[in-house]
Amino acid sequence: MDSIGALEGRRALAWLVSLAAPAVATAASHALDGQVSLAGLAMIYMVAVAATSAALPRAAAAFSALLSVTALNVGFVPPRGSLAVAEGEYWWILAALLGLSLGLGTLLGSLRAKRAEAEAGRARASELHRLSEAMAVTQGPAAMAVAAAKFMRAATGRPCAIFLRGPADTELQAFTDPDGQPFDLRAAHWAIDNGRPVGPGSLNWPELAVWCAPFTRSGAAGAVQVRTAEGEGPAPAEADHWRALARQAGLALERERAAVAVARAEQRAEAEAARNTLLASLSHDLRTPLAGIVGSASALRVQGADLGETQRATLLENLEYEARDLAVMADNILQIARLSQPHRQLSLQWESVEDVLGAAVARMRRRWPGASIQLEVARELPLVKAEAGLLAQAIANLVDNAVRHGGDPPRVVVQAGRSGAGVFVAVRDHGRGLPPGDSAELFQRWKRGQGSNAGGTGLGLAICQLAAEAHGGSISASGWAGGAEFRVDLPAAQELEQEQEQEA
Amino acid sequence: MIRPSILVIEDDAAISRFVCASLGAAGMLPRAAASVSQAEVELGHTAADLLIVDLGLPDEDGVAFISRLRRTDPAPVLVLSARSQEWAKIEALDAGADDFLAKPFGVGELLARVRAMLRRAAAAPKLAPTFSVEGLSFDRTTRELRLDGEPVRLTPRETALFEALAARPGKVLTHRQLLSEVWGPEHVDQLHYLRIYMGHLRSKIEKNPADPRYLLTELGAGYRLADE
């Protein structure tokens, strides 16, 4: 209300000045009358007209100019006191005054308009700049859309929304400022699909209560929406500015999405490379037992009659063991695939280390009847949170590895005990120890034990590492005087101690 | 002795064939069914002394079939499960299956399970007043446990746990079943109770608790009391 009052006050003042200026000129001319020629008096009026042209709006200035010419004519041009003009020369003076004053008014008015326009342009340019700065300090498409909506709201003084295409390319997601304002999804779809603005102030659907423009003319990733009164849109210049803002926000958002897409593609490529390495090592690992199976089976079929009873029995045994190894490998592959996923989920339960080790060792004793596998578990070990199947598989892999590399005949000792805050499991063999080099490399899934053609899977140790880590523990390998030792450390479940006492 | 009739419900022809062949070679009378509906037709003809049920059948969930079967048929059920059916395996045991075999399995394991289950089924339904196996004996009426003739002192909870296992010796009892029977149905998720008390029991009767002779672990599924 204040601003409207001030505006009216200014307008009244302008008209007052437009009256006052000719009056002042008339008074001055009257004082100088007789000492100065008519042309000189005309110059006094000219000064008044120039002053009003510079200071007043165009209509008031023109009115003031007409008033000045009339006053000069009536007051000082002979015959005085009437609008009649006695001589041609006076006509000339009056015409010159009128022409000059109107021309000056027009010139100054248009200069003023140009200046105002330039100032508005500068303000808009700086607004665009501020928008792109606001977007640059924000990360992630959603946060950027929120920032853009907020900025648009500040710039337009109305509720605004940014519509963003979802990853599925169909859904439009709205980010509004202030939160939870209703917006027109259909209008956003139309604007994006047609690459043109809609709503009041545009050629399309001007009766809407929202103004909406896509980021770009074609293939826009989103749109900007401004809530307006029904059918009451922005002026053309303002609409242009809003579109520029929409473009700017769109550019930044598209850039961000492109960056995200690039990062994702890089990740995918990395995963792809890892998978390829894995597949290569897998096909190698699979071939070993398969060669045994094919060989044994074909020998039995082709030469079965010529083979001795013992030889046949050995081949049949081979066949079964190799096939069982394949089954173990299938389990290992399944676990690798599961544990390599970024959002793997273990079904952790309270387990006793004794149970898990007992099962793993029993399995390995069945697999390697000729090997000596000793199990030593300390009494009263705390329970651990574990996925029994996975943990047993990991330990079985360690034992399997130890048997394969553990001397002849293989002797393996599996120990479990308390270690600080947790539980450790150590698998010790009596073989040739670790290969030279970094022991951490042993756990990389494509590495295989050097100098060993005892078969087995290169995946086994990789799973042990993944499993230990998935349980919040760690694995390490070291040499000891008589061979190699692999050790898994698991955190104990401390929260349990209390419950245990309550129960007891 | 009458040859026991075994119904093998398995849709994989190769497995069904080898299971039937080895059961037949072991002196049993196997019949094959490739689906639940076929199995029901077979059972309508002649009852089976034992059922071998694969969990991945084409027409019906094996677990649902087992729980339906259990309402009318006490014949023991051996479940065959693939690696990816861990949960189904436990559900099948909860639904009343007696034992399971994980694929791939050998004939040795298969025949051992089947024979043990048939033997148990023949001994049922009346349990002997005393359960005994190699040096361990449990008097079901006085609830007294003796190891090599010496009484073993158990707490009431340990006694209840042993009693629950001894009620069905040789059968796999799932964690849920044991927790529900010994601690009550509201405690079926308190697996650590069971782990701790199993540890206590083992330390009292096993020579080497990590390599148990009597109280056997079925990893990820439950426990069983050895009956031979």
Which residues are registered as beta bridge partners of A176? A161
With H, G, I as helix, E, B as strand and everything else as coil, classify residue A251: helix
Going by pLDDT thresholds of 50, 70 and 90, the confidence category of residue A68 is confident
Residue A285 has pLDDT above 60, yes or no: yes
Residue B176 has pLDDT above 60, yes or no: yes
Q: What is the pLDDT of residues A4-29, one digit of tens each?
A: 667 788 888 888 888 898 899 899 98
Tokens of A100: 């000059």
Residues A299 and A443 grouped into a single domain: no
Cβ–Cβ < 8 Å for A483, A428 = yes
In percent, the amount of chain A with pLDDT more than 90 equals 17
Q: Report, as an integer, the average pLDDT of B181-203.
A: 92
Phi, psi of A300 (to 5 degrees): -65, -40
> Residue A412: how many CB atoms within 10 A of its CB?
27
Residues A473 and A354 grouped into a single domain: yes
Domain-embedded: residue A167: yes
Chain B closest CA to A359's CA: distance in Å? 7
Q: Report, as an integer, the average pLDDT of A374-394.
A: 91
Contacts of B179 in chain A (CB under 8 A): none
Q: What is the pLDDT of residues A389-439, one digit of tens each?
A: 999 999 999 999 899 888 788 999 999 999 887 899 999 998 888 777 667
Determine the structural domain holding residue A397 and report its residue range.
349-503
Domain-embedded: residue A278: no
Top pLDDT among A444 and A378 is at: A378
Q: Which residue has the tokens 């007052």?
A: A16
| Contact between A358 and B210 using a beta-carbon 8 Å cutoff | yes
Q: How far apart are CA A429 and CA A412, in angstroms?
A: 5
Residues A404 and A303 grouped into a single domain: no
Q: Which residue has the tokens 């105002």?
A: A116
Residues A371 and A494 grouped into a single domain: yes
In percent, the amount of chain B with pLDDT more than 70 equals 99
Q: What DSSP state is assigned to residue A6?
A: H
Cα–Cα distances (Å) from B109 to A318, B79, B174, B213, in that order, read: 18, 13, 20, 18
Separation of CA A37 from chain center: 80
Task: Round the CA-based radius of gyration of chain A to a whole number and report it.
Answer: 46
Tokens of A325: 């190894």
Residues A115 and A186 grouped into a single domain: no
Going by pLDDT thresholds of 50, 70 and 90, the confidence category of residue A104 is confident
Residues A6 and A120 grouped into a single domain: yes
Picking from A320, A350, A355, the nearest residue to B217 by CB comes out as: A355
Residues A329 and A360 grouped into a single domain: no
Residues A118 and A158 grouped into a single domain: no
Query: DSSP states of A53-116 as a string?
Result: HHHS-HHHHHHHHHHHHHHHHHHHSSSTTSS---SHHHHHHHHHHHHHHHHHHHHHHHHHHHHH
Contacts of B192 in chain A (CB under 8 A): 350, 383, 493, 496, 499-500
With H, G, I as helix, E, B as strand and everything else as coil, classify residue A504: coil
Residues A35 and A113 grouped into a single domain: yes
Q: How far apart are CA A408 and CA A431, in angstroms?
A: 8
Highest mean pLDDT of the ranges A33-47, A177-191, B95-109: B95-109
- The sheet with strand A160-165 has its strands ordered as A172-177, A160-165, A222-227, A210-214
Highest mean pLDDT of the ranges A11-15, A334-338, B7-11: B7-11
Residues A210 and A294 grouped into a single domain: no
With H, G, I as helix, E, B as strand and everything else as coil, classify residue A283: helix
**CA A472, A478, A481: angle at the middle one, nearest 5?**
145
Report the first-to-last Cα separation within chain A, whole angstroms.
79
Domain-embedded: residue A122: yes
Q: What is the pLDDT of residue A454?
A: 42
pTM: 0.64
Omega of the bond prior to B58 within 30 degrees of 0, cis? no
Q: A165: exposed, middle or buried (C-beta count within 10 Å: 0-12, 13-18, 19+)? A: buried
Going by pLDDT thresholds of 50, 70 and 90, the confidence category of residue A3 is low
Chain A interface, best mutation among B110, B201, B211, by max A CB count within 10 A: B211
Cβ–Cβ < 8 Å for B51, B19 = no
Number of domains in chain A: 4
Residues A81 and A216 grouped into a single domain: no
Cβ–Cβ < 8 Å for A100, A47 = no
Domain-embedded: residue A276: no
Domain boundary among A260, A295, A312: A260
Average pLDDT across chain A, whole number: 84
Domain-embedded: residue A272: no
Domain boundary among A305, A339, A373: A339
Residues A164 and A114 grouped into a single domain: no
Q: Provide ipTM, 2 decimals.
A: 0.88
Going by pLDDT thresholds of 50, 70 and 90, the confidence category of residue A168 is low
Domain-embedded: residue A273: no
CATH number at residue A194: 3.30.450.40
Which residues are registered as beta bridge partners of A419? A422
Q: What is the pLDDT of residue A502?
A: 45
CATH number at residue A386: 3.30.565.10
A interface with B, Cβ–Cβ < 8 A, is: 320, 323-324, 327, 330-331, 334, 349-352, 354-359, 361-362, 375-377, 379-380, 383, 388-389, 392, 416, 493, 496, 499-500, 503
| Sign of torsion over alpha carbons A434, A437, A439, A445 | negative
Domain boundary among A127, A153, A168: A127
Q: What is the pLDDT of residues B12-64, one digit of tens each?
A: 999 999 999 999 999 999 999 999 999 999 999 999 999 999 998 889 888 99
Indicate the residue type of A374.
Answer: Q
Q: How far apart are CA A387 and CA A393, in angstroms?
A: 10
Q: Report, as an integer, the average pLDDT of B154-182.
A: 94
Cβ–Cβ < 8 Å for B143, B166 = no
| Sign of torsion over alpha carbons A106, A110, A116, A119 | negative
